[in-house]
């Protein structure tokens, strides 16, 4: 009859740390470390989102400046001026492509009732044939992105006659 249990196997020593180990405490420690890592990751995500928002707002400011330059220049009368304007327009289109990549979209306000969530009133104009509180024009365009409102629009709204602006 053969031996069921061979006694000639090598002896594997048990590490001293394993002799005194407490598996429940080790698991609890691992869960605490995982929770801290998850919290750290959430904080890093929030910071990255805040950083991206800041960068997008700076790009919008730059785009506003380029748009202002193009609007003020008007029609170019010389070839050199036309080339300069084409270059500025090209930079503006590049900025729009970046903003589009991040799904930054303008807020539709003109001709609609004032929405205080997306717009800030910077002035009023008396309009007899229009109810008060309708957005007439934008001084600065507002924008949204996938995480909510990126920038409020600055608008001029209609007012009743005799209302102070």
User: What is residue 128's predicted lDDT score, i.e. its pLDDT?
Assistant: 80
What's the count of helices (H) and strands (E) in the chain, helices before strands? 3, 6
User: What is residue 78's predicted lDDT score, i.e. its pLDDT?
Assistant: 82
Q: Are 150 and 56 in contact (CB under 8 A)?
A: yes
Alpha carbons 80 and 99: distance in angstroms, whole number: 29
Alpha carbons 155 and 84: distance in angstroms, whole number: 31
**What are the pLDDT tens digits along the chain (165 aa)?**
555 666 666 777 777 777 778 888 889 999 999 999 999 999 999 999 999 999 999 999 999 998 888 888 777 778 888 888 888 889 999 999 999 999 999 999 999 999 999 999 999 998 888 889 999 999 999 999 999 999 999 999 998 876 555
The CATH class, in words, for 104-165 is mainly beta
Of all residues in the chain, what percent are helix, strand and coil, respectively (each to 5)?
Answer: 45, 20, 35
Q: Are 119 and 143 in contact (CB under 8 A)?
A: no
- Where are the domains positioned within the chain? 21-102, 104-165
């Amino acid at each position: 009859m053969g031996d069921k249990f061979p006694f000639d196997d090598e002896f594997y020593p048990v590490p001293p740390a394993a002799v005194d180990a407490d598996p429940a405490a080790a698991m609890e420690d691992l869960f605490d470390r995982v929770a801290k890592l998850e919290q750290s990751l959430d904080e890093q995500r929030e910071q990255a989102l805040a950083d991206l928002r800041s960068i997008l707002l700076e790009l919008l400011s730059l785009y506003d400046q380029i748009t202002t330059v193009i609007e003020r220049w008007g029609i170019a009368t010389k070839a050199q001026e036309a080339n300069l304007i084409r270059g500025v327009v090209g930079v503006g289109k590049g900025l729009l492509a970046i903003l589009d990549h991040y799904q930054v979209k303008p807020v539709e306000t003109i001709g609609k009732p004032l929405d205080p969530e997306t717009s800030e009133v910077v002035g009023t104009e008396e309009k007899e044939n229009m109810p008060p509180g309708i957005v007439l024009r934008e001084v600065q365009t507002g924008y949204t992105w996938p995480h909510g409102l990126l920038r409020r629009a600055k608008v001029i709204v209609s007012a009743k006659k005799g209302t102070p602006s």
